[in-house]
Amino acid sequence: MIDLSQNKILITGAGGFLGKHLVGNLVNKRNVLENNLFLPSFEDLDLTKWENCQKAVEGQDVIIHLAASVGGIGLNQEKPGELFYDNAIMGIQLMEAARQANVKKVVLIGTICAYPKFCSIPFREEDLWGGYPEETNAPYGIAKKALLVQSQAYRDQYGLNSIYLLPVNLYGPGDNFNLESSHVIPALIRKIAEAKKDNKESIEVWGTGSATREFLFVEDAAEGIILATEKYDKSEPVNLGSGMEISIKELVELISKLMEFKGEIVWDKTKPDGQPRRMLDVSKAEREFDFRAQTEFREGLKKTIEWYLNKS
């Protein structure tokens, strides 16, 4: 087990939604000194450039690679090439730089989008290569999945201790509420808040509402990543999730109820649903590094709504 308080840690994407919660956990719960954390922003070091990856890893013991170019279905449809290139090149170069610098451990964050479009429920890690991902986010999913192949190849050839985690959709305080690029929960919260403010009688939601999703509270995700960093040293990927499943229709109804919105939900069925169903088998994370999500979904939603309403 790694004592993170005794190591120099690079966190890419530390200024992002998940990154801020991860840094908070390390400082407040793991007693990691801020002096031991290297938290470069995209403006500091653009990791699509090789020389910046070399600079980033210099003198580091542990790398947690969170940085990603990411968004909802709309952004994936608008910029598939950009999302593929940026996510692949950042991870590939960073891992190579870490190998050359003899970094002790690399933690790679994959994506639920890497799973096949049609996959038995719950998704087991062994199912990852069972088919092509859902088309609207396949370029992003495959770019991230390529890093698993690199991770395993580098372990086999060079002995690099790199691990690969597959978190489900995250939500919570500090999420991205930009309607152009946000995921479903923050988008719904913002739409409903604005509809109430403007006295609108309806909101529009993409798709049919039939697709299902699983969600993991961001503080739970941060804890899961840190537990894996401390305790897990194997090449096989591990799911990080809550083990719950909810349809988008039920999700809209629940958020509407929590926000006391009584207007009509207008479904834009010309827009895609995305992957039909998503729910993870989360037993491996509990077995390998004692991770189990702690936040009940309704409570997590309340905290997220409260944070957004206080900020807006």
Q: What residues act catalytically?
A: 140
Q: Is 214 helix (H, G, I), strand (E, B) or coil?
A: coil
Q: Secondary structure of the chain: what % helix, strand, coil (to 5)?
A: 45, 15, 40
Which residues neighbour 206 within 8 Å (Cβ) at sequence distance 6 or greater? 73, 267, 268, 271, 272, 273
DSSP letters, 239-255, are EE-----EEHHHHHHHH
Element of type H or E holding 223: helix 218-231
What is d(CA 273, CA 277) in angstroms, rounded to the nearest whole number? 10
What is d(CA 59, CA 33) in angstroms, rounded to the nearest whole number? 16
| Residue 148 CA from chain centroid, whole number | 15
Name the E strands within the chain.
9-12, 37-38, 62-65, 105-109, 162-167, 169-171, 202-206, 212-213, 215-217, 238-240, 246-247, 264-268
